[in-house]
A and B are shown apart, each in its own frame.
Chain A
Amino acid sequence: MNAILELRGRVIKGGRAEGEALVSSQPISFYGGIDPDTGIVREKGHELEGKSVAGKVLIFPHGKGSTVGSYIIYRLKKKGVAPSAIINQRCEPIVAVGAIISDIPTIDCVDISNFKSGDWIKIEDGKIIVERR
């Protein structure tokens, strides 16, 4: 693993985390789109369908759908299947509120085309370090 990239973004929820990147080029609806008990993406036809967000650094453009999504993020956290961190192109209120009430470090204003699923990501407040094999 080599550190290949260091980026800075805007802190939505501060904190330190690391994990394997799971990248989606499509927006994510937490309410209805992710199984709250398993962390598996279940939205039909979504590019992450069938994949688990548990423990991952989840990278996607922005959230969508119902504001109940904030509570789904909270439930994922309580069940131990939440992402370890979130990186957005442009965070919106559903994800922001969910991340804050669940204490999941979250950064936005980052060009997410920099990331590939499988990268190892370390984040600390606004700083992101990307390691790739």
Chain B
Amino acid sequence: MYLSKDEERMLVGEFGYAMQKAMEILIALGKIYDAEKLIPITSAHISGVSYANVGEDGLEFLEELASDGKVLVKTTLNPAGMDLDRWSLMGIDREFAENQLRVIDVYRKMGVEVTCTCTPYLVNNMPKLGDHVAWSESSAVVYANSVIGARTNRESGMSALAAAITGRTPLYGLHIKDNRQPTVEVRVPQPDGEFGFACLGMVIGRLVGDGIPFIKGMFHAEPDELKALGAALASVGGVPMFHIEGITPEAKEYADRSMEKLVVTEADIMSIKKEYTSEADPDLIFLGCPHLSLIELKKIASVLIGKKVRKKLWLCCSKHVKLEADKLGITRALEAAGATIVCDTCPIVAPVRDLGISVVATNSAKGAWYSRNLNNFSVKLLSTEECLREATE
């Protein structure tokens, strides 16, 4: 792999320990994927934040890196294992909280913005069409590639951090235009709302594995709906991006391409819901996987106004979005109805098992999948309206 003079100096340690380790990681990845060189990136997004996943050892390594490491580009952080301010209200114990805050401090010391969200694009980490970035968090990767038209591979937390520290990433995979071509055409009915898009994502993810679908048959799609679609797609398979005819920015380049054709029906989409029909009463109902946007919070508030929430209802979003909601009085309205706004985290990465939860309901196909497969919960997958009805009944 070609290295510039500066990159060679980084590799031999002239710019310190963190830069050297980061460069070694990128070069190893470059070799594995036959990259010809490194390219500059404009932003990074790092997963691997919950203390439950990083552990004491990961933390020790991050502390070593932070001894002289600083990120060179705009870098945001994925959700942590708790709300950083209101962890005791969530029922998180003190020992976990202290360890979690150590992880956060290490990232902050390296210059990472402590956004703690899986939706960096909702908190000002918004690349431009064609920008090269290094993002981890599969749902954010799909959104960046598909909806924004930025270019990123599916990074791990560590490779994204290495890219942030050096400001570079190896040139391979989705950074190269040829590798962004769709591999299979999927004709679909117009899905209904975020929930319909999420279920459609599950169906397509299973059909195409780690391919790139070219979706036809949709007339309109809101950004929040595409967020739900991408999150579901990426959680069941290895899908790194999608194109939608007439909607996503790179789709027009492939309009006349002939490729394998698949058809998804209304019944296929409905069948996803039937996979998650726990009979038990949910201990927790959560919305916000991926994290809610301001628009989604507004919609939820308009449903809940004048009603009383009778079950534990978590609305998960970034602190950034909550601050906007505070200003508009949305937070007050939601809390008056009895909902809890949970920032910086979600029931997938927080140690929710320790909170006595075993049955959950959600509108997120991704959230349902992980709740069952990672946390062993019984799960009810419902539309947003049904979730809110369940919470207020």
Contacts and interface: CB of A to CB of B under 8 A. Distances in A.
B152 to A, nearest CB: 15
Nearest 4 interchain pairs by C-beta: A75-B57, A67-B156, A71-B58, A96-B28
Contacts of B29: 93, 96-97
B159 interface: yes
A70 B28 contact: no
A111 interface: no
B57 A78 contact: yes
Interface residues of B, number: 19
Nearest to A100: B24
B54 interface: yes
Contact of B28 (A13, A71, A72, A78): A13
Contacts of A92: 32
Interface string A90-106: 11111011011100000
B25 A97 contact: yes
B249 to A, nearest CB: 28
A97 B57 contact: no
A46 to B, nearest CB: 21
Contact of B53 (A13, A68, A74, A91): A68
A12 interface: yes
Interface of B: 21, 24-25, 28-29, 31-32, 48, 53-55, 57-58, 60-61, 156-159
B153 to A, nearest CB: 10
Interface of A: 10, 12-13, 36, 67-68, 70-72, 74-75, 78, 90-94, 96-97, 99-101, 108
A79 to B, nearest CB: 9
8 contacts: A67-B156, A68-B55, A70-B156, A71-B57, A93-B28, A97-B28, A97-B29, A99-B28
A70 B61 CA distance: 11
A121 B54 CA distance: 33
Given A12-B28, A13-B28, A97 B58 contact: no
A30 B326 CA distance: 44
Nearest to B64: A101
Nearest to A91: B32
B236 to A, nearest CB: 16
A101 B61 contact: yes
Contact of A67 (B28, B61, B157): B157
B156 A71 contact: no
Nearest to A10: B31
Contact of B25 (A10, A100, A108): A100
Contacts of A93: 28-29, 32, 156, 159
Contacts of B31: 10, 12
B148 to A, nearest CB: 24
B25 A96 contact: yes
Given A13-B28, A67-B157, A90-B32, 15 more contacts: A12-B28, A12-B32, A68-B55, A68-B58, A71-B54, A75-B55, A78-B60, A91-B32, A97-B29, A99-B28, A100-B21, A100-B24, A100-B25, A100-B28, A101-B61
A1 B159 CA distance: 41
B156 A13 contact: no
A74 B58 contact: yes
B158 A97 contact: yes
A71 B56 CA distance: 9
A68 B61 CA distance: 13
Contacts of B61: 71, 74, 101
A8 to B, nearest CB: 15
Contact of B158 (A10, A67, A99): A67
A97 B159 contact: yes
A97 B24 CA distance: 9
Most buried by A among B53, B60, B158: B158
B70 to A, nearest CB: 18
Most buried by A among B55, B57, B60, B159: B57
Contacts of A94: 156
A101 B32 contact: no
Contacts of B57: 36, 71-72, 74-75, 78
Given A71-B57, A74-B57, A74-B61, A101 B28 contact: no
Nearest to A73: B57
A26 to B, nearest CB: 20
A77 to B, nearest CB: 9
A110 B55 CA distance: 33
A90 B24 CA distance: 18
A90 B157 CA distance: 22
A10 B1 CA distance: 12
